[in-house]
Amino acid sequence: NKNNEEKEISKKEKQIKKEKEAEELLEKAKKMLKIASDIKSKKRFFSPFIYASDTVEKIMTDVILALLPSILVSIFLCGIKSLLLILISVISTVLTEKIITAVFFKKEKEKDSIKDLSAVVTGIILSLTLPSFVPYYFAIFGGACAVIFGKILYGGLGKNLYNPAVIGKFFVLIFFEKIFLKFKLSNINFQILNLKIFRNILDSPFTKFLDSLILSQSNSIGTFSGLALILGGIYLTMKKRISLFT
């Protein structure tokens, strides 16, 4: 009888815990919807863009090329896990945009918005902000939220207040915070991150900083190499996609 009572108490405690977690999740969802509603009701501010005669597709292609060094470094360090995370994130953003625009947008140009590759760029950037050890559904969920709440909600490309990829990462952290903290780093050769190139010439804080620019430990797959990001920035500057003075 005592064992049965203990089992019943344990079941009730588990049930209460599940109900509490469900209530917390519902509250988070309500907060997100309120934020979305507030954003939609407020005046939209447009970013200070650099105007060019090129198509959006060409500009986005250059952004993808600029991200390529960081992508290659992440695949080199994390292997197939990193590649799959990027691909799944891109598939999520592209499919979400295709479905949403097909259902809610009437103009043919708006329905074909995936052709401008902006959804691909969003998917890549989102994946590069995630650690290699997260489950793939993080990328699926984050990609969908990035497009819906970070782009479509504002009216589409160029009208968003914030980077859609950042919005996607925000939703992942809000909804999967507890799960996120359970995972540990894996499949990364940290030995190679302790690179010594400049420090072999002279061991100093400055040479240590230079070595860390080439490779360093990171919480996301896209920031293992500061040098890779700098190279991408230089490429975009040379192509006049970004400016150092605006």
Q: Does the pLDDT value for residue 11 go beyond 80? A: no
Q: Does the pLDDT value for residue 213 go beyond 50? A: yes
Residue-level pLDDT at 93:
95
The position carrying tokens 């990001």 is 229
Mean pLDDT on 120-133? 92
Contacts of 125 (CB under 8 A, 6+ apart): 67, 163, 165, 222
Q: What is the pLDDT of residues 219-228, one digit of tens each?
A: 788 988 889 9
Residue-level pLDDT at 187:
43
Residue-level pLDDT at 153:
83
Mean pLDDT on 152-164? 80
Residue-level pLDDT at 16:
80
- Highest average pLDDT, of 45-49, 82-86, 97-101, comes from 82-86
Q: Is the pTM of this model over 0.85?
A: no
